[in-house]
Amino acid sequence: MDKYNQLWHKIKLHLADILNDNTYHELMQNIDTDILKFENNHVYVKVKNAFTESKINMLYLSKINTIANELFEDKIDFVFISEDKLNDFEIIPTAPIDTQKTDYLTTSLSRNFTFDNFVVGKSNNYAFKVAMKVADQPGVVHNPLYIFGGVGLGKTHLMQAIGNYIISSDLNKKIIYAKADNFIEDYKYFLDTKNPLGFYNKYRSVDILLMDDIQMLSRAEKSQNEFFKIFDTLKNNNKQIVITADCAPKNLKDIMERLTSRFQESLIINIEVPDLQHRVEILRRELKTNYDPEKVPDVPSNCLDYIADNFVTNVRELKGALTSAMTFCEVNKLPVNLSSFKKGLSLLLQTKKRTSTLSENNLDKVQSIVAEYYEVSISELISKSKKYKIALARQIAMYLIRQLYNIPFKKIGEIFGNRDHSTVMSAVDNIDRELKHNQLMVQAVTSLIKKITGK
């Protein structure tokens, strides 16, 4: 196998890891096992038809290229090309994205929200998997699906990704994405125009209904009634319903019982706050997609750690902070480094009350303070590296988390790259022993505790 086929093979293994089994196998049935050729930094792979080609381009291409560039030294782009285009092959440098046919206007979907650019971590892994399954077989598995979680954690993104995926697989599927307040307005509009039938026809004729922020139906009783009827009709006809909300069904306020009890029968999934490593990963992905790839490697990881440490509970704010800091450097012609980032974000941070109430985030805080102290990056801290400085920082961080928060060894192991609890136990023991005679370490630990607790 030559090196490009080897690369393609490795990429497939990665995809098998991140996609659900059906999606993966269905996709691979339509893609050639071996690459077609390599030319001008492009790896060409043949796919069965234009539909698969556009599906890959829309959903997986950027992920595939990201993996390729992680695995391979030279910059490489993959091009998937359908059999029927092979004749024009010579003149097609990159595959076009064929989404023209899709009538996005009627669905109100935004093309930016795809599975491909949703960064998966512990906090949303389950939600992501379920959403992929639902998108793969709408109306068949997990119907209805109810996704809840705090502001800015990706509910709308995931819900729209389901819609975008379905449209890309079947242009004939009728999808409506609506925020619950638009639903209310829509209802009023049809009543005003004396055309309630138009309203029913619109919502009851869909194959997939994506209803965002259902808590906004609160107190709008008539709209709730209408939604109830639509919900029942769709469900009975095996049409997929996806709902998002800012809380679990049982905590919805001023929404009629018969609706909330229907929601309670749904598959209910929760998106949680991403942990530190996940937040850093989101920032890295953001850099890759929105900034000049030549310059991205120059953003030091302590800059990303700094943002991830200060913007904890909302991915929108997290991404916004990165944009602010990068713009600040550009406008003021400052080097991209920690000190510029601190300056650039100081105002934003002054006005923003830092959220560190969740214990998980306190653990993150310990990791980032220790990482900064020993001048290692968060990813090194969590990595398997045995370099003295990194291993020491890691053991100290484990020790501090254990001492300050009394977290079970197993849990500590999980947040340090899924290490075994026995590894954590021996790290804590080790530091304990050192502290009995190593004055330097005593000083380090004392000063770290001050930084962490603020006392």
* Residues near Mg ion, by CB under 5 A: 155-156
Nearest of 198, 155, 194 to residue 177 by alpha carbon? 155
Stretch that binds ligand ADP, among 147-155, 288-296, 357-365, 371-379 (CB under 6 A): 147-155
Name the residue number minimizing CB distance to ligand ADP: 154
Print the binding letters for residues 63-102 with ligand ADP: x by CB under 6 A, - otherwise: ----------------------------------------
Print the binding letters for residues 304-333 with ligand ADP: x by CB under 6 A, - otherwise: -----------xx--x--------------
Please report whether residue 118 would count as binding ligand ADP according to CB under 6 A. yes
Q: How far is the CB of 149 from ligand ADP (least distance, A)?
A: 6
**Residue 300 vs 320, nearer CB to ligand ADP:** 320
Q: How far is the CB of 82 from ligand ADP (least distance, A)?
A: 29
Q: Select from 16, 119, 296, 348 the one that contacts ligand ADP (CB under 6 A).
A: 119
Contact yes or no for 143/240 (Cβ under 8 A): yes
Please report whether residue 155 would count as binding ligand ADP according to CB under 6 A. yes
For 319, residues 6+ apart whose C-beta sits below 8 A from its C-beta are 282, 283, 286
Q: What are phi and psi of 116, to 5 degrees?
A: -60, -35
What are the angstrom distances between the C-alpha of 180 and each of 142, 186, 213, 370, 377?
21, 10, 6, 44, 43
Binding residues among 276-305 for ligand ADP as defined by CB under 6 A: 282
Element (H, E) at 177: strand 175-179
Q: Select from 138, 139, 144, 154 the one that contacts ligand ADP (CB under 6 A).
A: 154
**Residue 156 vs 240, nearer CB to Mg ion:** 156
d(CA 88, CA 150): 49
Q: How far is the CB of 274 from ligand ADP (least distance, A)?
A: 7
Please report whether residue 442 would count as binding ligand ADP according to CB under 6 A. no
**Residue 77 vs 246, nearer CB to ligand ADP:** 246
Q: How far is the CB of 252 from ligand ADP (least distance, A)?
A: 16
What are the angstrom distances between the C-alpha of 1 and each of 39, 72, 126?
17, 16, 36
Q: Select from 23, 82, 124, 168 the one that contacts ligand ADP (CB under 6 A).
A: 124
Contact yes or no for 287/322 (Cβ under 8 A): yes
Residue 144: asked if its preceding bond is cis (omega within 30°), the reply is: yes
Q: How far is the CB of 155 from Mg ion (least distance, A)?
A: 5
Show the tokens assigned to 244: 């998002």
Q: Is the dihedral of CA 384, 129, 316, 105 positive or negative?
A: positive
Q: Sort residue 418 into left (φ over 0), alpha (ψ -120 to 50) or beta.
A: left
Which residues bind to ligand ADP, rule: CB under 6 A? 118-119, 124, 149, 151-157, 282, 315-316, 319
